[in-house]
Amino acid sequence: MKDIIMEENNKFLLIVISGPSGVGKQTIAKELINLMPEIEPSISATTRPMRNGEKDGVDYYFLSQDDFERKIKEGYFIEHAQVHGNLYGTPIDNIKRIQDKGGKLLLVIDVNGGKNVKKAYPKNTILFFIKPPTFYDLKERLHKRGSESAEEINKRLNTAFIELSNQFWYDYIVVNDDPKKAATEIMNHILKGEKNEKLQ
């Protein structure tokens, strides 16, 4: 990873949102961008099937297993992981683009990916862990989504136990009982951090 890390500056910000499947990360991300239009979304790559309403290059870059593995070898990703049997990764170019122009980038990635980004850019990364009000709420959301089988839902719930055990590694923990409220809380933490930076 050392060869892809460029010299850090304090003019760009990487905002990482992580949390269990079904907790509402993408909805919160959209609400946050509505509140702070200057934030750009980072588009991840994945090998999972496209869901109804999703578009390639907008929601994700949908790749075949072979293409994804080839890009790993080419050093295309700053972080990648296998989640629920599918591969996910963050293209390095997403971060380099924001770094060059000094902007804000929003990454919706898994816990291990968040740790890797923080490790690569410790001074420029802020981590938000999204958790459900209760585990029962998470289970209900996954069932209502209707995009996974019962077996897949059980896999996601088992993974959620592991992810929730990592929440305290994050800078902030945000409970999603309302996406707009959660996005506002994230925005306030970002603005407070920027204000404190200016006072130093």
Q: Which residues pair with 131 in a beta bridge?
A: 175
How far apart, in whole angstroms, are the C-alpha atoms of residue 28 and residue 31? 5
> What is the mean pLDDT of the segment spanning 118-143?
87
Q: Is residue 26 part of a domain?
A: yes
Please say if the pLDDT value at position 5 is more than 70: no
Asked whether residue 3 is domain-assigned, the answer is no
The CATH code of the domain that includes 120 is 3.40.50.300
Which tens digit of pLDDT belongs to each residue from 34-81? Answer: 999 999 999 999 999 998 888 999 889 999 999 999 999 999 999 998
Cα separation, 193 vs 18, whole angstroms: 19
Cβ-based neighbour number of residue 91 at 10 Å: 19
The reported pLDDT for the residue numbered 103 is 94
Note whether residue 1 is domain-resident.
Answer: no
Closest CA to 96 of 157, 42, 24: 42
pTM above 0.85, yes or no: no
Mean pLDDT across the chain: 87
- Residue 131 domain flag: yes
pLDDT at 197: 65
Which residues 6+ apart lie within 8 Å of 33 measured at CB? 39, 41, 106
Q: What element of type H or E holds 86?
A: strand 86-91
- Per-residue pLDDT band for 200 (boundaries 50, 70, 90) equals very low
Secondary structure (DSSP) of 47-70: -SPPPTT--BTTTBEE--HHHHHH
- Rounded distance between C-alpha atoms, residue 70 and residue 31, angstroms: 34
Minimum mean pLDDT range among 3-12, 31-40, 57-66, 91-100: 3-12
Residue 139: predicted pLDDT: 78
Distance in angstroms (rounded) separating the CA atoms of residues 121 and 5: 8
Count of domains for the chain: 1
Please state, for a pLDDT cut of 70, what percent of the chain lies above it: 90
DSSP per-residue letters across 92-161:
HHHHHHHHHHT-EEEEE--HHHHHHHHHHSTTTEEEEEEE-SSHHHHHHHHHHH--S-HHHHHHHHHHHH
Domain with 106 in it:
8-199
User: Cα angle at 54 between 51 and 56, to 5 degrees?
Assistant: 110
Q: Which range scores top for mean pLDDT: 29-43, 109-123, 134-148, 159-173?
A: 29-43
pLDDT at 3 over 70: no
Q: Quick check: is 2 in a domain? A: no
